[in-house]
Amino acid sequence: MKPLFDFLVKLFILSVILWGVIYWGYARYPFDMPSVFVAWVMVALNALVGYLLFEYAFDKESKMFTLVVFGGVTLRLLVIMAMVLVINVLHMVRSIDFVVSFISFYCIYLVLEILGYQKKNQQKKNAARNG
């Protein structure tokens, strides 16, 4: 479970840094903070679920791994798209602030998710070499 813990620590550290930047920017360029928060929650949970699906499927056979990981990506994308649509149609947030922050968070957290995958793969390769 060490890679999961490392991923959670990096997720936490990245979130703290991003929120520091957000509060710094808020002092200069006011925006709708609840809209940014909703976008952050959606993206952070999406990244966490993605990594947990990867962890679950990691030692499974190739067919199951592909189904869980890529099926999970598809399902997560559909759920996120539906949530974005509902949130915007119901005017639950200020759209421009939400969309800009959502896209920004998504790009940043996607990189973190991919780095988590790479670290888990590297640890497996190192274990195979050493054991």
Q: Say how far apart CA 118 and CA 22 lie, in whole Å.
A: 28
Residue 19 CB partners (closer than 8 Å, separation 6+): 40
Instruction: Give Cα 68 to chain centroid, integer Å.
Output: 17
Determine if residue 91 is left, alpha or beta; phi over 0 gives left, psi from -120 to 50 gives alpha, anything else beta: left
Tens-digit pLDDT string for the chain (131 aa): 588 899 999 999 999 999 999 999 998 988 999 999 999 999 999 999 999 999 999 989 999 999 999 999 999 999 999 999 999 999 999 999 999 999 999 999 999 999 999 988 888 788 778 86
Tokens read off for 7: 């991923």
Record the pTM.
Answer: 0.89
Structure tokens at 75: 């399902």
CB 35 within 8 A of CB 101: yes
Alpha-carbon separation of residue 73 from 1, 10, 46, 88, 89 (angstroms) = 22, 21, 9, 22, 24
The whole-angstrom separation of Cα 22 and Cα 89 is: 25
Whether 77 and 69 have beta carbons less than 8 Å apart is answered as no
How much is the pLDDT for 111? 94
**What pLDDT, on the 0 to 100 scale, is given for residue 2?**
82
* Residue 14: predicted pLDDT: 95
SS3 131: coil
**What is the domain range of residue 111?**
2-130
Count of domains in the chain? 1
What's the full length of the chain, in residues?
131
